[in-house]
Amino acid sequence: MTSLPTRAGLFVRTVIAGVSCLFLSSGVVVAVLLLIGVPIYAGVHYGVEVLSSLAILSGSDFRLAAEPLAVALVVAVGMPCLAAVELSLRTVRTARERSAPAGALAQGIVELASYVLLLSSLLIVLSTLPFLRSVLPVPLFGLLVLLGFFYLLMAGYLWAAHEWIRSKDDVNGERTTGGNWLVIGIFIVGYLSMAYWVGFALLVVAALVWLVFGSIIVPNHVDGVRDAIEHRAAEIAEEEPVDPAAAYGITDEVKWVRTKLEQTTDLRPTILVTVTGIVIVGASYWAATLVSVETVVVSVAAVSAAAFVGIHVGATIRTEFTGNNAVLRDLEDRFDLETLTVTDIESVDQIAGTAGSNSDRKVDVNASLESIVTRLAGQVDLPPPEIRVLEHGTPVALTVGYRPAVSTLVLSRGLIETLEYHELEAAIAHELAHIANRDAAVLTALSAPSAVARLARSRYGYNPVVEPLAMLVGTISRWYVALVSRGREYAADDGAVAITGDPAALASALESLDADLERRPSTDLRERDTATAFAIVPPPWEKHPFFDRTRRFIARRVFGTHPPTEKRIDRLRARV
């Protein structure tokens, strides 16, 4: 039997986990900067070369002015293109949050961006191959190339399977056929520009520029084009077109952004955007006259990628500390998570479904979850957390949030129906102890990278680049979250006993939940990444025909977020 972790041991574990989380998050940001910066650099460099070659007619003086002018023109065109991608990502995310289908234009651009990320990763790998070939042994380098080939082959098959399954999914109404047709059209244009005439590429650029400025100046025209694309794509696929009134498109997102800018700056958004664009284009031209074009191109790519990533990182950090953290959004994204309000509250007797004539098993009809949480929180001078009811049969109780004032207590319907009144009270006290001990804040922060990675995979679809990166983030996050979580359960148990004064109630609750989980199907909610660290008891272990002992060691000792439930029950009953 292992000894309980000391306060110093918990501190060391927390420091190790915090440093690991910081390095992991920094590594992901650097990887994303590269994935976004490389195609921007390639696009700007290619555009400058083409325009310079077209503009240089004669004379050295004109040749000197052609390159800075080309840089300014490419930057002027590139800004609306990047804005179109950013608006599309925001549109898809907002549509998902509103449970509405995103418009075909936004979906097509997001699909195109996913292919660009794949191309970017290939360019990065190809650029590093000469270096690896010079430093690695020949057999190892050959094995690396072979593995890369098999990965690309597997990625292609998986992507095709993903698209096929999604096309057969009648329940998922988020995606529209028009988005896929737009991607096909863009690839055709790209092929024509590479095979016949470079000017064909201007069609894609012109379309993206039109999309941004059209959404600002003539939004009704853009909506009309979107509806026409949807109807035409639906006719070809012999499907019902998406209702334009139900879809959330780029023009809707532009209206929201314009409203926010007017409220924040008290200026007309058109003037603000125009002045900003003129300043950026002018600065690019001026810089190209002072330093080499290569330096300007690299700087433009680096600044654009940093701004692009910074917007998303900043929005994520801001959202984390406003109460709607990534762990909570991940649960909302995957499950039916309802807010418990005063008008919705049933008596605990009705919610728990308790029965019997024994007064210990009979709950006062006027008691409610809110009153229990408020009373227990008041005993430890905590503001009552928001209560969310998870419509799921698996018994789950978890608390997330960085500060007590914005914490959220999540109780599943299965837990409420499983526990008796005194057991439910003890389980809630256990979760409140996590808030009082700042466990919820620590675990919420440590679980944020994994939750954000899962949200990205869910919202933007399967991507051969994003998928392995997200899996790596999830695996590393599970390790350091488990490192911290295991030692904090005992402290939460002790805190729950201090609140209720009844160790037997918590022991009985743990025993009831553990027994109930044994009867549940193997597809358990808490086996799925971030929610595991916040659950009150670990999932039961199912024996495997091969390497069972090794698997159990990895699952329980390396990635296990809870100490053995039997040990916790024995500790509590020893205090009775």
Q: Are 173 and 161 in contact (CB under 8 A)?
A: no
Long-range contacts of 221-230 (CB under 8 A, 24+ apart): 222/105, 222/249, 222/250, 222/251, 223/249, 223/251, 225/105, 226/103, 226/104, 226/105, 226/178, 229/104, 229/105, 229/178, 229/181, 229/182, 230/104, 230/176, 230/177, 230/178
Nearest 5°: phi and psi at 536?
-85, -30
* Phi and psi torsions of 410, nearest 5°: -110, 120
Give the separation between CA 58 and CA 300, rounded to whole angstroms: 28
Task: Please name the amino acid found at residue 536.
Answer: I
* Distance of alpha carbon 156 from alpha carbon 163, whole angstroms: 11
- Rounded to whole angstroms, how far apart are CA atoms 563 and 328? 24
Strands 408-412 and 386-390: parallel
Q: Which one, of 397, 346, 353, 390, lies nearest residue 376 by Cα?
A: 397
Q: Estimate to the nearest angstrom the gap between the alpha carbon of 527 and the chain centroid.
A: 18
Residue 560 CA to residue 555 CA, distance in Å, equals: 5
Q: Tell me the DSSP string of 65-123.
A: HHHHHHHHHHHHHHHHHHHHHHHHHHHHHHHHHTT-PBPHHHHHHHHHHHHHHHHHHHH
Q: How far is CA 393 from the centre of its chain?
A: 25
What is the C-alpha separation between 89 and 305, in angstroms, rounded?
A: 15
**Cα(371)–Cα(89) distance, integer angstroms:** 42
Q: In this structure, is the dihedral angle defined by the CA atoms of residues 400, 403, 406 and 411, taken in order, positive or negative?
A: positive
Sign of torsion, CA 71 77 80 86?
A: negative
DSSP string, 416-477: HHHS-HHHHHHHHHHHHHHHHTTHHHHHHHHHHHHHHHHHHHHHH---TTHHHHHHHHHHHH
Distance from C-alpha of 206 to C-alpha of 458, rounded to nearest angstrom: 30
Is there a catalytic annotation at residue 431?
A: yes
Q: Given CA atoms 283, 285, 290, 296 in this order, what sign does their dihedral have? A: positive
β-sheet bridge partners, residue 337: 390
Cα–Cα distances (Å) from 494 to 252, 299, 517, in that order, read 51, 56, 23
CB 57 within 8 A of CB 321: no
Q: Are 42 and 314 in contact (CB under 8 A)?
A: no
Question: Which tokens sit at 277?
Answer: 């664009």
Q: Which one of the listed residues 431, 467, 489, 511 is annotated catalytic?
A: 431
Angle of helix 369-379 versus helix 421-436 axis, rounded to 10:
50
Q: Are 456 and 470 in contact (CB under 8 A)?
A: yes
Catalytic residue list: 431
